[in-house]
Amino acid sequence: MTADAAYAELIQRTKEAAVLASCGAVLGWDERTYMPHDGSAFRGDQMALLARLTHEMSTDPKVGELLASIEGTSLVANPESPAAINVREIRRAYDRAVKLPKELVEELARVTTRAQQAWQEARSKNDFPAFRPWLEQIVQLKRREADAVGYKEHPYDALLDEYEPEATAAEVRKVLSALANELVPLIAGIGQSNRKPGREILERQYAVDAQQSFAKEAAEALGFNFRAGRLDVTTHPFCSGIGPGDCRITTRYNPRFFNEAFFGVLHETGHGIYDQGLVAEHFGTPLGTYCSLGIHESQSRLWENQVGRGRPFWEHFYARAQKAFPAALADVRLDDFYFAINEARPSLIRVEADEATYNLHIILRFELELSLLTGDLKPADLPGAWNERFTKMFGLTPPDDRQGCLQDIHWSMGGIGYFPTYTLGNLYAAQFMNAARNQLPDLEGDFSRGQFGRLKAWLNEKVHRPGRSYRSSELCRRVTGEGLQHGPLVGYLREKFGRLYDL
Amino acid sequence: MTADAAYAELIQRTKEAAVLASCGAVLGWDERTYMPHDGSAFRGDQMALLARLTHEMSTDPKVGELLASIEGTSLVANPESPAAINVREIRRAYDRAVKLPKELVEELARVTTRAQQAWQEARSKNDFPAFRPWLEQIVQLKRREADAVGYKEHPYDALLDEYEPEATAAEVRKVLSALANELVPLIAGIGQSNRKPGREILERQYAVDAQQSFAKEAAEALGFNFRAGRLDVTTHPFCSGIGPGDCRITTRYNPRFFNEAFFGVLHETGHGIYDQGLVAEHFGTPLGTYCSLGIHESQSRLWENQVGRGRPFWEHFYARAQKAFPAALADVRLDDFYFAINEARPSLIRVEADEATYNLHIILRFELELSLLTGDLKPADLPGAWNERFTKMFGLTPPDDRQGCLQDIHWSMGGIGYFPTYTLGNLYAAQFMNAARNQLPDLEGDFSRGQFGRLKAWLNEKVHRPGRSYRSSELCRRVTGEGLQHGPLVGYLREKFGRLYDL
């Protein structure tokens, strides 16, 4: 078999596994939007079968043989050629997948499914001891996963690698520490400021219908293509890029709080614009796949925060908001509204946090994950460790575990290593946005006229179309001239909150 | 391997293929309800992959080996035991599937996908010649399918067998001819009657929202379980029994015609109650599968017509209808409404036909299918043959092929042999309903009080729970004491329309 023929078959098999996985994405979307109540157990059977078949396809020894007969040939001699990129990344995923014993994969699937239910119950009853044995099992299993995959320095690296290829705990720790050092005084300054926004503005009556059409209008203006997508209601909002021509975002509406649905939609819109910006013909192969979770998150944060919580955006949209919600906003000035949606203050819940304090929530989780994985922190001691660090960082103590270490679903899903990608997203978003402002004159002028096409086209070209051609830090270097940095995010936050809080 | 172990593995494999097919059912439902416009091409890739993998599972030679090591053993000695029924039916499906050359299956899939598009265009342009070459190909392919499957008397038997196991063209012809002989004079009598209903009543303003909640209320009253199901909007309504706890019905609303959505919902509700009545633990095996399309259709027709178009049903529901549609119905008497929804008159379009004339539409198609398959009728001559027979049967001539031989999608889908199951459904529905009335005293009294639980429980026990344990005619004999008969349907129609039209 020639390398060309082997490559063609490799790509066909890779795409086929991706098509099968995408069937699971449709079922997953349906499960979280329209599936009838009693369908849940059977949906579990369907998802498990699709996951098993997809895994079998991806770990078929034939894939290894095909890779071996391509590697080292002239077809992949140029490391920047499409074939070389695809082969390198398929090899990476294949090696990781075959290193994991089937028994461990199934055990993880079984335990995390049940642990999520246990977590849900434990959270609602504020009963950490009920969740503790599950967390213990999960930490052990993830540690076994890390050992099976292998790592140079820290077992965490092996887990992080799944979400943020080749990033390491040491690198992440370095940038997060630098970030924390700058954020703590900034947040203290905000706390001491005499200026306070009127949060009550956002807690007036916002009719769900009007929220829906206003959010859809904004998503469409930013560039989400509704002929190739949808917006539906769910409990825990997400974006699902099912495949070419089919990307779905979701939200939930709170008739007494403006931010929840609106900024949620902008966030998912950012994910959606990324998915819609991937190259369709490469669907299912690394060239048509997102770069990393950090980069994916950079796109949601960029549109949600850098654009959607910016003043220029509201210079265009505020009159429309007043029209959509006359009872709530008729008597509110743009500046007051703008200040209210950008209120910064230490709070207990990560998903409700503002742009400035948000990253401290991530740093806390990242540090705890590291200690859990090495065994320096026992799961039984998690609530105490959480509350102690939280108090130190935020000057607030969680009154219960529900508002402390039980608030997030991630650990129950086995997602140790996932949290830092949120802050990586914030960091990359600030870096990308600085570069965009430099390269596209008067970009904020566009926003104030409701025009987002130049920014979207720039992101499509620079960030989306390369797919998984580069590691996230390398992509960042190519787009901005620099690797991952904490400076741009700090600069952006200082400038924005300095102005709002008169620091 | 013991027979017990082989049986356990056979059942596991059979269920697995069914679970995979059910993933396709979710994607199919999504395609016809919520899928974004641009997702259509990719959905084709997903569906093709699932179909191929399901076919591979069902025709795996291992299935044949397992069957062979069970057949003839004591495990299946009693032909009415669950194991014997499952093994017999899995063998039937396996033999049929492996007899079909893979190349023929793929050719049929390819041609029918394109033929459906060609049919859609040809119908909208009233251009039979554009569809003719596709019909020619389909007839040839279906003839090859019949030859590959094998048959004793008529190639049609091999096709009918897929929808109505072991039924034959000769049997169906016999009962349909007898039915036609009785229907023609009945319909003539109706045509000569001086009594005419006021159709205009049904063409007033019926707000879509009110239609939706009224139809849902009725579906729920009949016994459709909305915790395990949904009602959504689509273009061509259908019911999809995805799996245990998940069955979805669909409809379309016409704000200027009451019957379309309402009786459509009752029809799909009947299919849905059947699906919800199958035994969940047997899902995916013959014991948990519907008996035949004719029996499935008997359930939709029973609830739509025998119950939903009956006077007792409206004695309960009419006051509710007047409340839901006050502008349309406030001044209409129950008897006038009841007559209007039961108007019988020859018309051109099958799906709009009333209970009396409907079966003539089927008989016409059945006879033409037989001649197409033997080659006695050339596809090129179809329009002429259609119009000639139609005129003879209905006393009306289609003004164009759009309202003649191009009206139905079935042939473009390769569904030759499907049409008779609609009339088989009407026949079985009348037989089941007679038996139910005999066995459940004052059943119509239940209906007039809005109570349908006794009928539903009776159908659950007698018709639904047996799954595919028996052939349709045998099931009918066990439930009613008689095999397939035309008499009960004729008696029902004579009595109902004799009263309405004063014959």
Mutate to test the interface with A, among B14, B15, B30 (most CBs of A within 10 A): B30
Let me know the angle formed at the C-alpha of A334 by A328 and A340, rounded to the nearest 5 degrees.
70
A349 conformational bin, left if phi > 0, alpha if psi -120 to 50, beta if neither: beta
End-to-end Cα spacing for chain B = 68
pLDDT digits (tens, 9 = 90+) for B29-50: 999 999 999 999 999 999 999 9
DSSP letters, B426-463, are HHHHHHHHHHHHHHSTTHHHHHHTT--HHHHHHHIIII
Question: In chain B, what percentage of residues exceed pLDDT 90?
Answer: 97
HEC secondary structure over A282-295:
HCCCHHHCCCCHHH
pLDDT digits (tens, 9 = 90+) for B294-317: 999 999 999 999 999 999 999 999
Mutate to test the interface with A, among B37, B57, B250 (most CBs of A within 10 A): B37
pLDDT digits (tens, 9 = 90+) for A453-472: 999 999 999 999 999 999 99
pLDDT at B46: 95
- Residues on B contacting A at a C-beta cutoff of 8 Å: 16, 19-20, 22-23, 26-27, 30, 34-43, 45-46, 49-50, 53, 225-230, 232, 242-248, 283
Does B328 have pLDDT greater than 90? Answer: yes
B467 conformational bin, left if phi > 0, alpha if psi -120 to 50, beta if neither: left
Closest C-alpha among A276, A293, A273 to residue A428: A293
Q: Which residues of A touch B37 (CB under 8 A)?
A: 227-228, 245
Torsion angles phi and psi, residue B204, rounded to 5: -80, -170
Mean pLDDT of B15-25: 97
Torsion angles phi and psi, residue A149, rounded to 5: -70, -40
CB contact under 8 A, A30 and B26: yes
Tokens of A226: 């509704």
Does A113 have pLDDT greater than 90? Answer: no
Quickly list H helices, A254-407. Answer: 258-277, 293-301, 311-324, 326-329, 334-341, 355-374, 382-394
Does B393 have pLDDT greater than 90? Answer: yes
Mutate to test the interface with A, among B34, B38, B247 (most CBs of A within 10 A): B38
CB contact under 8 A, A36 and B245: yes
pLDDT at B229: 98
- DSSP conformation class of A245: T
Torsion angles phi and psi, residue A242, rounded to 5: -70, -45
Q: What does each C-alpha distance from B280 to A64, B339, B463, B465 come to in angstroms?
A: 41, 40, 15, 10
Contact A347, A393 (CB under 8 A): no
* Residue B203: active-site member: no
Mean pLDDT of A34-53: 94
pLDDT at A106: 87
B201-229 burial string, b = 16+ CB within 10 Å, else e? bbeeebeeebbbebbbebbebbbbbbebb
- DSSP conformation class of B285: S
- The partner residues of B251 in beta bridges, in order of sequence, read B233
Antiparallel, parallel or unpaired: β B246-251 and B239-243: antiparallel
C-alpha count within 13 angstroms, C-beta hemisphere, residue A6: 20
Q: Which of A39, A227, A242 sits opposite B228 (nearest CB)?
A: A39
Beta-sheet strands, E only, within B118-255: 229-233, 239-243, 246-251
Closest C-alpha among A470, A368, A462, A432 to residue A164: A470
Tokens of B57: 């599972």
Mean pLDDT of B351-359: 96
Query: What is the set of active-site residues of A?
Result: 268
What is the distance between the alpha carbons of residues A399 and A387, in angstroms, rounded to a whole number?
A: 9
ipTM associated with this complex: 0.95
End-to-end Cα spacing for chain A = 68
Beta-sheet strands, E only, within A166-291: 229-233, 239-243, 246-251
Amino acid at B123: R
pLDDT at B148: 97
Contact B457, B277 (CB under 8 A): no
What is the distance between the alpha carbons of residues A243 and A20, in angstroms, rounded to a whole number?
A: 11
Quickly list H helices, B100-127. Answer: 102-124
Does A374 have pLDDT greater than 90? Answer: yes
Count of CB atoms situated within 10 Å of the CB of A352? 14
pLDDT at A1: 87
Confidence of residue B56 (pLDDT cuts 50, 70, 90): very high
Q: In what order do the strands lie in the sheet with B229-233?
A: B229-233, B246-251, B239-243
Q: Which residue has the tokens 């013909």?
A: A281
Mean pLDDT of B116-122: 93
Average pLDDT in chain A = 97
Closest C-alpha among A470, A420, A414 to residue A100: A414
Secondary structure of residue A343 in the 3-state scheme: coil
Does B113 have pLDDT greater than 90? Answer: no
CB contact under 8 A, B36 and A246: yes
Antiparallel, parallel or unpaired: β B229-233 and B246-251: parallel
What is the distance between the alpha carbons of residues B313 and B329, in angstroms, rounded to a whole number?
A: 17
- The partner residues of A232 in beta bridges, in order of sequence, read A250
CB contact under 8 A, B228 and A27: no
Q: Which residues of B touch A45 (CB under 8 A)?
A: 19, 243
Torsion angles phi and psi, residue B166, rounded to 5: 70, 0
Antiparallel, parallel or unpaired: β B239-243 and A246-251: unpaired
Q: What does each C-alpha distance from B61 to A146, A219, B35, B49, B404 come to in angstroms?
A: 40, 52, 36, 20, 45
pLDDT at A102: 87
Count of CB atoms situated within 10 Å of the CB of A332? 19
| Torsion sign (Cα): A150, A152, A156, A157 | negative
Closest C-alpha among B66, B96, B95, B97 to residue B83: B66
C-alpha count within 13 angstroms, C-beta hemisphere, residue A435: 21
pLDDT at B106: 87
CB contact under 8 A, A225 and B38: yes
Secondary structure of residue A472 in the 3-state scheme: helix
- DSSP conformation class of B379: G
Tokens of A315: 């210079």
Tokens of A411: 């650990």
Secondary structure of residue A116 in the 3-state scheme: helix
Q: Which residues contact A125 (CB under 8 A, 6 or more apart)?
A: none
What is the distance between the alpha carbons of residues B435 and B420, in angstroms, rounded to a whole number?
A: 23
pLDDT digits (tens, 9 = 90+) for B197-236: 999 999 999 999 999 999 999 999 999 999 999 999 998 9
Closest C-alpha among B502, B469, B97 to residue B285: B469
Confidence of residue B445 (pLDDT cuts 50, 70, 90): very high
Amino acid at B329: L
Q: What does each C-alpha distance from A101 to A59, A142, A146 come to in angstroms?
A: 11, 13, 12
pLDDT at B485: 97
Closest C-alpha among A336, A334, A320 to residue A450: A320
Torsion angles phi and psi, residue B242, rounded to 5: -70, -45
pLDDT digits (tens, 9 = 90+) for A84-109: 999 999 999 999 999 999 899 989 98
Rounded to a whole number of angstroms, the distance from the CA of A235 to the nearest CA of chain B is: 18
Confidence of residue B102 (pLDDT cuts 50, 70, 90): confident
Q: Which of B19, B247, B248 sits opposite A49 (nearest CB)?
A: B19
Give pTM, 2 decimals: 0.95
Among B268, B297, B304, B367, which one carries the catalytic annotation? B268
Contact B354, B335 (CB under 8 A): no
**What does chain A come to in residues?**
503
Question: In chain A, what percentage of residues exceed pLDDT 70?
Answer: 100
